[in-house]
Amino acid sequence: MNIAWVIVVLLIIIFMQGIIYSKFGLKGITYKRAFSQDTVFEGGETIEMVDEIANKKLLPIPWIRLESKMSPHLLTHSENAQDKEEGEIFHRTLFSLLPYQKITRRHQLIGSKRGYYPLNTVSVTTGDGIGFGEVFDSFEASTAVTVYPAIVPLEEIPLPSHSWLGGDITVKRWIVEDPFLQAGIREYQQGDPLNAINWKATARTQELQINKKDYTADHHLMIYVNFDSNEDIRMPIEQPKIVEKGLSYAASLANYTIEQGISTGFGCNGYYVEPFTNSTDRIKPSVRVAPSNSGQQIGYIFDAIAKVEMDRSRNFRAFLQEDVEQGLTKTDIIIFSLRRTEKMNRQIAYLEELGNAVEVVLLEEGKGGEADVS
């Protein structure tokens, strides 16, 4: 066989294998993606992403490439958050597969910024070993990671030194005696009401005894974050990093107060990211988590804060007006805010007239903050 026939045969083989891989290369290919956990805290906590790809046919795959869009805030240990601050990135993985082979690869990621990060599809590309042609398809691989805000020690939150969060005051501030709950008897003390005297116990002990009341949580705590840097919600938020700091403070404070048994909620004048809000709504609902001290409450608050868009549904004055219109009462409110305006003060005054206590913590860039007690 002369060299011309060798070249012809080789060209036919190349052409045929190109046709085979273009037609059958992605047949029998399956892909799965999963995370070791659905949630992670911002910063140093690691989450594992697992790619699993299988070739369920006799034809070997010389190469196959996976590409998926990822947020720049999901980093590997070797990546720098500042280098990936803008736009989406493509996460690429290259495999070769023998007949009926399955390969699993694990990637260690860090959530560098609070947020909700869905990963919906993956692009799969393959071809023959010579590079004659390529075929690609898109596989559904819907997963998501929720990155909770960083939790800081209570001492780092710029609360006023005389705050009700100091020591035992934390619990006592929100607890009042419930006249319907009995918790035994105790000796009479000066100032106790005479109608609380237990005469049977007094006769038995020959000393004045009164009915001791149990306690019930009567007040609630709402932690608010004000996204306003100006009144016009069409304008962008001017200092998003400081607002992020306020969200971190809110999460940290809620974590502490719920541990203390205080019924705590959260709110802000932002709105939830897609798909947790209806994009067709002209005005998106503001974010509110009703106060509770249940075992699941801190998870609800962390989740809400993680899924808040860095944008506004309304200005903060209108956000507080919602509380006024709903007749909010018996609630302690702490507000983390960039600034305090006269319009905001008027709404705070209305809330105080309804029987609420309001405290404002002003956030400053490069500092912990400054508390302003109303």
CB 174 within 8 A of CB 332: yes
At residue 364, φ and ψ (nearest 5 deg) are -125, 145
Q: pTM surpassing 0.85?
A: no
Token output for 88: 């989406």
Measured between alpha carbons, how far is 313 from 5 in angstroms, rounded to an integer? Answer: 73
Distance CA 360, CA 337 (A): 7
Is residue 337 within 8 A of residue 226, CB to CB? The reply is yes
Torsion angle, alpha carbons of 244, 248, 254, 255, to 10:
150
Quick one: tokens of 190?
């000066």
- List of residues 6+ apart from 67 with CB closer than 8 A: 90, 91, 92, 122, 123, 125
Q: pLDDT tens digits for the chain (374 residues)?
A: 578 777 777 777 777 777 888 888 889 999 999 999 999 999 878 899 998 999 999 999 999 998 888 888 887 755 554 445 555 677 788 889 999 999 998 988 899 999 999 988 899 998 877 766 788 888 888 899 999 999 999 889 988 654 555 444 444 444 444 444 455 677 777 666 666 777 777 887 878 877 765 444 456 899 999 999 888 888 888 889 999 999 999 999 999 999 888 899 999 999 999 888 766 677 889 999 999 988 899 999 999 999 999 999 999 999 999 999 999 998 999 999 999 999 999 999 999 999 898 999 999 754 444 444 33
Q: How far is CA 225 from the centre of its chain?
A: 14
Give yes or no for a contact between 60 and 167, defined as CB atoms under 8 angstroms apart. no
| Angle (nearest 5°) at CA 273 between 46 and 262 | 70
In order of their start, the domains of the chain are 27-148 (2.60.40.10), 154-173+219-373 (3.40.50), 175-217 (no CATH)
Q: How many CB atoms lie within 10 A of CB 259?
A: 12
